[in-house]
Copies of this chain bind each other. A is one copy, B any other.
């Protein structure tokens, strides 16, 4: 991460600042979603925006995810740059046709004649004791679809820079924010900046093992890296930041350097993000790997409500630490 001012913001503040700056910069940008205006969303991420930009730019909707997502697609095609707010990532299910059969394909099906410059903001992540329909991490689905770009910020700095790039991008971009991280603080420069989509970030340099981690799992990986340091294992933590475009080179180079790799993502392992990244590394660093790439994702169960059960489904520092230690034979 480039040197930054000392200013610290929470994830929520960084996202809000990115949106506010883009709303100011470009009158075509608007926010559409449930309880986004006065309520500022249940997570209060958008608090204050309607006061500055008014109800014609920050727009409350009925509980019609498919409907207002479809409206955003049409609005984006005809000159606006809407940011759609889907309160919980679990509700992506309701928008799949509009995102996958419409937004993702309009540009291609029209031979380049129409563009769909829209952003969808939504969440991922368990641990809020919200049970199976409010805890999923479904980012693998949309990462599978040509025409879409997918962003998973892991720090306030990344959240702001990636959000601004997403809004300026001429394609449909889906941003997944971990709902447990909105209060997570980190340095964010006061000066204007953006982060290009498709660039991985090495969150920690290391020599012995590569831990590829996404979203909140980056903190889990960094925690594990600390524990590993104590037993003399130097772990490199790599955050792809965008699932698509995927910065395969950085992932592969790191694995080649360390000769060992673990992939941690909060989505389900099977047919998920860990599968893609693990196979990219297994193929790209084939001749340098000393051990199979290890995948760590959410347990293969609908997220349970009961705290002891829910906690057992999410990847932990300890889990990553143990896996790394085993791979490094320590």
Binding site for B on A (CB under 8 A): 90-94, 96-97, 100-101, 104-105, 108-109, 131-133, 140-141, 143-147, 243-244, 246, 267-268, 270-276, 278-279, 282-284, 286, 289, 291-295, 300-302, 304
Partner of A105, one of B133, B246, B283, B291: B133
With A97-B94, A131-B109 in contact, do A104 and B302 touch (Cβ < 8 Å)? yes
The docked-state distance in angstroms from the alpha carbon of A295 to that of B281 is 13
Partner of A272, one of B144, B283, B286: B144
Q: So how many copies of this chain end up in the complex?
A: 2
The docked-state distance in angstroms from the alpha carbon of A131 to that of B110 is 11
With A133-B101, A282-B292, A283-B292 in contact, do A268 and B144 touch (Cβ < 8 Å)? yes
A109 and chain B: residue at smallest CB distance: B132
Partner of A140, one of B92, B243, B271: B271
Does B96 lie within 8 Å of A108, measured CB to CB? Answer: no
Partner of A276, one of B93, B131, B271: B271
A91 and chain B: residue at smallest CB distance: B97
Partner of A286, one of B94, B145, B275, B291: B291
**Chain B residues within an 8 Å CB radius of A94:** 96-97
Does B104 lie within 8 Å of A93, measured CB to CB? Answer: no
Does A278 lie within 8 Å of B271, measured CB to CB? Answer: no
The docked-state distance in angstroms from the alpha carbon of A144 to that of B139 is 11
**Chain B residues within an 8 Å CB radius of A301:** 108, 146
The docked-state distance in angstroms from the alpha carbon of A300 to that of B140 is 15
**Chain B residues within an 8 Å CB radius of A304:** 108
The docked-state distance in angstroms from the alpha carbon of A94 to that of B91 is 12
Partner of A132, one of B105, B132, B276: B105
A291 and chain B: residue at smallest CB distance: B286
The docked-state distance in angstroms from the alpha carbon of A131 to that of B131 is 39
The docked-state distance in angstroms from the alpha carbon of A284 to that of B295 is 12
The docked-state distance in angstroms from the alpha carbon of A282 to that of B243 is 21
**Chain B residues within an 8 Å CB radius of A131:** 109
A274 and chain B: residue at smallest CB distance: B279
Q: For A97, A146, A271, which residue has the most chain B Cβ atoms within 10 angstroms?
A: A271
